Structure formats: structure tokens, C-alpha cells
Amino acid sequence: MSAPRTRAGDQPDAVPAQAPEGAASTPREQCDLIMQGGITSGIVYPAAVAELHERYDFRSIGGASAGAIGAALTAAAQYGDYARRRDPARPGGFGPLSEAAQQVAAPGLLVGLFQPTRATAWAFGLLFGLQRAGSSWLGRLWVAAGWVSRYFAAQMLIAGGISFGALVGVLYGFGGSLDRQRWYGWLLIAVVLLVTSLLGLLAAVLVRALRTVRGLPGDFFGACSGMPVGRGGQAALTPWLHGQIQRCAGREGAVPLTFADLAGGRRADEKIALEMMTTDLSAAQPLSLPFAEGQFLYSPGEFGRLFPDDVLAHLEQVSTPVPTPEGVLGPTDLRTFPGPDLPVIVATRMSLSFPGLICAVPLWVQGLGRGGPVRHWFSDGGISSNFPMHFFDTWLPTRPTFGLDLVPTPRAKGKREPVREPGDPAMTATVAPPSPGGGAPVRRVAQINNLFGFLAQILDTTLNWRDTLLAELPGFSDRIRSIRLPDGTGGIHLTMTPAQINDLAASGAVAGQSLLTTFDWDDHLFARYTLLMRQLQQNLVGGGHADPGTVTKAFTPEFQRLLASLGEAAVPGDGATTYDAQWGVSARDRTLALLGLATGWAAAQPLSFIQGEDPTPPPVMRLRPKV
């Protein structure tokens, strides 16, 4: 790989940065950025974005789940940065983004953003209490004892009391008495009381768990709505994130930032594209936000449980009511769900609905006839694509699309992770180096040592195999940096210490610096070009005359005669387009010319685009629905 260039003009899409009137402008390169989901792992993104912004403006940003948070904040910061170049006195830009990352490191803020409902607070108390205790068995027992005394002490006392009363009744029924018991009698009574109390605890836990599970549909299938619970005044996830987006955009106290605002830059090179993954569980399909105007409906009554008042007010202004026929089931307050006028916070929240932890977002589709509206549940974008590197990709790129990947640090087989303190080098996130020559990186291999690990890998494979294979393809792997997360950090570890949070944030800066110093645009563009042309030749004419491609095989003389005879019989197709004999003859001749040209590529080995060994993993070129 050649040394990285430092001149902005060497990169595509270099544009002059806006500057105050009378000041000199400097050229700025542009890039796209994709961020992987991982709940708290997204702490790594602000520092990485800050490093990349030293050279690049962000033209297109995408993500899923927690990656959607990073994408939203980055897009808002870029929006605010463009405004600051015209007026340096304006707020916003990348400064507030760095400040938001510093706020997360404040003790208790991260876990406080996730406020459970009253019905799920008991489960939260145990889960995150055990996280704080770490791997210390004494600490775990202390947490468990405190949890039991807080939530189930009465049930244990009742079970123990009933058991003690029964024992006393039996004892006196056979002529015995408590005052004549010897030590082993008291030991037997104590064991019976302990066992019955534990059985009472188990029964109480099962009853409460069943009651909680049955109540989840009423809580939109999640423990946290993202909005404040109770009167503590502590910041909750959705209002806090909405405030950070507004501050980065320089619009604090103004109307919510929307996708239309991002795409409506004053200059063509200031238009920002933002996309986020979500999953329509009801239709079993992935979708990218924002949606087309009017594709879905929403209920203000339901959204009132999920979003702040200013967001609800804006949604009402940019939507229209949809009457519901009388006599059908469903909400009576449905309105059209916005397209480009959708607030960024709404899309971010829809991508962030981690199953079980953060509740899903309901939308509606108008039913046919008098069937009434049909509810669609939208959950975490990571369910369908946690690392959507396919966003913004074209056959040949005009600017780099970087990817920030998050991977757990694998444990050595058969070894238990030692107890470590924050600040230990082993507790610091690291960045996996790029693969030599831009080829496929070393595949992530999990150490499966038990049934839970086996089942976890089944789930991980089901959800992420497409993203994993795409990230290893030549032309993709060289622009992705994988940040290895130490055990006990990232994911659902909401109780990380400030030191652990700061270590994760610092690793993002290392990833950004790695992209700046090791990524080479010429090498990348050449790899993408040769991969594209190789696949075109393979599909059109194959590797040589003896190896016809799929198009050559299908473009038979019989099919050519069919094209030339259009208009003489019923025309194939859906009837939406008019095909006639002139079109058919022209289409036949142009296709033959294309195949003849491609055959020339393979006629002599120096001209063939199929050179060397097949890429690993082997790519395919196919049509698929846009997501």
C-alpha cells in the first residue's frame, strides 16, 4: 500500500470549506461513514468522528441501533458546522458532540438514561447490580441479598412463617414441644425453614416474572420507554439524546432537526444524507429510515409515551389526520407519518429499540375496506443489519465510505478472565489493524465452551452473517476499522465506570487516526474497479470462450428471435410499458454488441479482467430489494 496522501485535491469530492466573508477558504475532502450498533459501545464514536473531521466533511452517515445515535449526532454536528462556517458566533458543530461524550462519563449518567417501568424495575435491580459487582462472588452474593430483601422479603417471611407454623402444629400434635428440642432438632427446623423460604422466593420470582412478561405488550414490549419515570428529575434517554442532537445542530430551543433540514444545504456539497436501519417485525423485513411520505400512520396518543412535547408538536404540524371508519377497531387519532420532515430523534429512537430493553415503536397501515388499520411494530435495526455497510455504496465510489466495527475481545479457550481494575492495559479497547493489501481480514472466531455460548453464536450468526461476509470482501475490508472491546464493556453494560467509558472513547480516536494514516484512496478505488469489472465479465461472458457467463447462456438465439418479433404476438411483461418490434430489434442488437465487447475482454489474457486467484470471500452480483 502506498503512503497516504495529505493533499486534499488528491481525494474525490474535495470541496472548499465555507468561511466567513473576507476569510480564505480551505479545501475539504468528503467521506461517508457507517457505524455499527452495540448499545453502550457507541461511546467510541465521538472521538473517531472528531479525528476524521480533521480531514473530512461527512456527506452521508448511516448506522443501526447505537450506531444510529452516532450517525444522528454526527449528521447534526456536520449541519451545525456548516452553519458555523458562515457565522462563527453560532452554536453547534463538533464541539457539543465532544461535550456529549464527556457527559456520558459522568458517574451514574449512563445507567440513569435507561429508566425502567415500575413493572420491570425489580429485574433491572438484579441485572445491573450484578454488573456492578463484577466477577466477585462475595459481591454478587451481597447484591443478591440486597435485591431479595428489597423486593421479596415479605414473600420469604410469609413462606417461612407458614412452614414454621406447620412444623409447630405437627410437633405439638405428636406430644412434643419446642422447649424440649435438642440441637439437631433446631438444626432440622432451621433447614426446613430455609428450604421453604427459598421455595417461597422461587415461587414469588416466577409469579412476578410471569406478571412482567404478560404486561410487556402494554409497555410496547420493552422495559424502558426512553422517557422519564417518576419524579426524580433525572435525564432519560430520548429527551437527553434529543437535546444533544439539537445542541450539535445549533438549534437548541428551536424546532426539531429533520431529515429535510440535513438534505437542504445551501450548497450542493453541504447536503447531508442520513439513513438508519430499523426492523418491521410485523412484516418481517428490514427498512431504512426515513420512509416515503404516507407509507405509514402514527397515533399521537401512542407517541406521547415515547417522545418529548416539542417533537409531538412538530409531528402534528407536518402530518395530516386520517379518518378511521366507524365501527372498526384501532386508534381514532391516526395521522400520516412524515417522510423527509421526520425529526431525526424519531428515526434514531426507532432504530434503537433494543429488544426487551427499549420498547418498540408502533406505526399503522390503513387496512383495506372496513378491516381497520393494522399495527406494525418497529424494533432494533440491528436485528436485520447491525452494520449496514451497503448504505450509500455504488458500483464505483466517488468518495470513501468508512466503517467503524465493534467486536468483543475473545477470551483464550479454557481460561477465565482475571479480575482487572479500570486503567489496566487489558481493560483498554484496541483497534484491529487493517489487513495487508486490503484483503480479507482475519475472521472473527468465537470460543464456544458451553451451551450458552453455543446458543449465543447461533443468534449472532442468524443476525449478522450478511454484514460479516460483506465486511470481509475486498474493497470493503480496507475501509473498516474493528474496535475490540474488553470483557465487561460495551453492549448492555450500563454500569461501566468513568475510567472504562473514557478508555472506550479513547479507542475511537485511535480508530479514526488509523483510517487517516493507513487508508489509501487509489488502492481502494483500484480494488473496487477490478472487482466490479471482474464480476461484469464473469456474468456477461465468463472467464473465456469455453466458460460462457450467465447472460451469454440466457441470451439464446430463441430469445433473440423473441425480441425481434415483438408486436406480432402478446408482449411479455406487466403491461405498464409499451414494447414494440422496433424496440425489440434495437434491444437485441445492443445486447449482442455489449456481449461482443465483453467477449473481447476475455479473448486475450492481458485484456481479461479475471486475473489471479478468486477474491475471498467469492463475490456475486445480483439484484436485491433496496434496504
Ramachandran region, residue 491 (left: φ > 0; alpha: ψ -120 to 50; beta: rest): left
Class of residue 15 by CB neighbours under 10 A (exposed 0-12, middle 13-18, buried 19+): middle
Higher pLDDT, 216 or 200: 216
Q: How many angstroms separate the CA atoms of 339 and 611, rounded?
A: 46
Which pLDDT tens digit goes with each residue over 145-158? 888 778 877 777 77
Which one from 380, 405, 478, 503 is the annotated catalytic residue?
Answer: 380
DSSP letter at 578 equals -
- Assign 504 to helix, strand or coil: helix
How many residues make up the chain in this entry?
627
Residue closest to 519 by CA, chosen among 382, 400, 607: 400
Sole residue written with cell 468561511: 19
Check pLDDT > 60 for residue 584. yes
Asked if the bond preceding 290 is cis, omega within 30° of 0, the reply is yes
- Give pLDDT, residue 464: 81
In 377-476, which residue ranges form alpha helices assigned H by DSSP?
Answer: 451-472
Q: How many angstroms separate the CA atoms of 387 and 16, rounded?
A: 31
Residue closest to 429 by CA, chosen among 31, 4, 38: 38
Q: Which set of grid coordinates corresponds to residue 152? A: 421479596
- Mean pLDDT for the chain overall: 81
In which band, very low, low, confident or very high, does the pLDDT at 411 lie, cut at 50, 70 and 90?
low
Q: How many angstroms separate the CA atoms of 541 and 532, rounded?
A: 14
- Give pLDDT, residue 191: 75
CA dihedral for 236, 237, 240, 243, sign (positive or negative): negative
Count Cα neighbours of 307 within 13 Å in the Cβ-side half-sphere: 28
Pairing relationship of beta strands 273-280 and 285-289 according to DSSP bridges = antiparallel
Whether 52 contacts 404, CB under 8 Å: no
Q: Is 65 a catalytic residue?
A: yes
- Assign 274 to helix, strand or coil: strand
Distances (CA, A) of 397 to 122, 482, 524: 51, 22, 9
Other residues' Cβ atoms within 10 Å of the Cβ of residue 71: 32
pLDDT (average), residues 597-603: 81
Residue closest to 402 by CA, chosen among 58, 21, 16, 7: 58
Distances (CA, A) of 373 to 88, 115, 350, 396, 478: 49, 31, 20, 43, 47
Which one from 60, 65, 379, 507 is the annotated catalytic residue?
Answer: 65
Count Cα neighbours of 26 within 13 Å in the Cβ-side half-sphere: 8
DSSP letter at 475 equals T
Q: How many angstroms separate the CA atoms of 257 and 452, rounded?
A: 43
Higher pLDDT, 123 or 379: 379
Check pLDDT > 80 for residue 573. no
- Give pLDDT, residue 424: 46
**% of the chain surpassing 70 pLDDT:** 80
Which pLDDT tens digit goes with each residue over 45-73? 888 999 999 999 999 999 998 899 999 99
Q: How many angstroms separate the CA atoms of 89 and 86, rounded?
A: 9
Higher pLDDT, 69 or 450: 69
Residue ranges per domain, the chain? 120-224, 542-603
Residue 71 backbone phi and psi in degrees, to 5? -65, -45
Higher pLDDT, 592 or 24: 592
Q: Is 282 a catalytic residue?
A: no
Q: How many angstroms separate the CA atoms of 506 and 277, rounded?
A: 26
Distances (CA, A) of 393 to 31, 60, 435: 12, 10, 21
What residues pair up with 280 in beta bridges, in sequence order? 285, 378
